Amino acid sequence: MALLTHGGQLAQIAKQFGIEQSQWLDLSTGIAPYHYPVGHVPISAYQQLPQVNDELINAAASYYGHDVLAITNGSQAVIKLLPNLWREKSSRSTNVYLPKHGYKEHQQAWQQAQFTICLYDDELPPLAVFDDHCVLVIINPNNPTTKLFTQQEILIYQQHIASLNGLLVVDEAFMDVITPSQSMISSIDDSNTIILRSFGKFFGLAGIRIGFVLANNHWIAMLADSLGPWQVNGPAQYIAAQALSDKAWHSEQRKQLTQDRQALVEMLQSTLNKNEHHSIVHTDLFITIYFNQPQRAPQLFDTLCQHGIYVRLCDDQQSLRFGIATAKQRSLLACVLRLTNLID
């Protein structure tokens, strides 16, 4: 199985460029630079096998607005599992439609399960192309393109896919920062719709590895049976329950991320050579810059790495993704950009 390139692979990058990990500014992920404050965690959370946590279930149900859910060790385990579960449920299914640019673990999982991969660009395929028992995967908003479909747009596809006895998978890993929310969670019914939600990105705690799947009772039961017990460790469950319930912190986090995103966009626009890039797109968790010249993104990636700044060179090799930076981090990034003569 080929390992895909992701952001956050700092140990590998540090070794490649010969700079100690502690000396790097890591802006390679879409993880918030501010984390939920982890206070005291009861020792029982470490000592006992993780049980079904009613406090966490209730907190997640309130936060997401849907009480039929599965708590998982991040979204990745579910992404890998879904193709085989779908094949068991719908043996005649062959085609899966995925975004050409996006989180490539989706494509790899369906490819390894021997499905036929049909890629679409920024816009969803015409309804007429879908066949019986097909699968449609939507990453909303998309990473790294930031493409966002409205709930009304996706509803049309949900109804059509349901009429074909197909499966709709919506990865909403970055939906927490979209206002107003375009989440499909409120439209989960008896159709084959599965929503994936990330915890670590918005709450800045990706290392505790926890995520949520929202679907109908049938799918949640299938996932629970396939994933088995003790999916998420006790401390992670305890921390997530506190974080999901803290509405005041949610509000402050969104406000701070918006301010920092605006400041980072302004800094990049004023610092980078305006003739080199043709667009800057963004969410409140990452910014993607598309360059005109084919080799400019790899060159800039390499230059930044030589100065201990790690950003994400996107799969298309024509764009760079920057995680949201704090004021101190922005100052360092701007200094390096100027020092390396990347302005007019």
| DSSP states of 64-130 | HT-S-EEEESSSHHHHHHHHHHHHHH-TT--EEEEESSS-HHHHHHHHHTTPEEEEE-SSPPPGGG-
309: domain range?
10-30+249-339
Tell me: the pLDDT tens digits for 260-273? 999 999 999 988 87
Give the CATH number for residue 136.
3.40.640.10
Q: Which residue has the higher pLDDT, 12 or 277?
A: 12
Q: Is the pLDDT of residue 188 over 60?
A: yes
What is the percentage of the chain residues whose pLDDT exceeds 90?
85
- Note whether 162 and 63 are same-domain residues: yes
Summarize the confidence of residues 131-159 as an average pLDDT.
97
Give the CATH number for residue 289.
3.90.1150.10
Residue 61 falls inside a structural domain: yes
Q: Is the pLDDT of residue 2 over 70?
A: no
Number of domains in the chain: 2
Residue-level pLDDT at 344: 38
What is the percentage of the chain residues whose pLDDT exceeds 70?
98
Residue-level pLDDT at 131: 95
Residue 277 falls inside a structural domain: yes
- Note whether 87 and 193 are same-domain residues: yes
Residue-level pLDDT at 343: 42
Q: Is the pLDDT of residue 340 over 60?
A: yes
Q: Which residue has the higher pLDDT, 272 or 276?
A: 272
- Note whether 19 and 101 are same-domain residues: no
Please tell me whether the overall predicted TM-score, pTM, comes out greater than 0.85 for this model. yes
Residue-level pLDDT at 341: 60
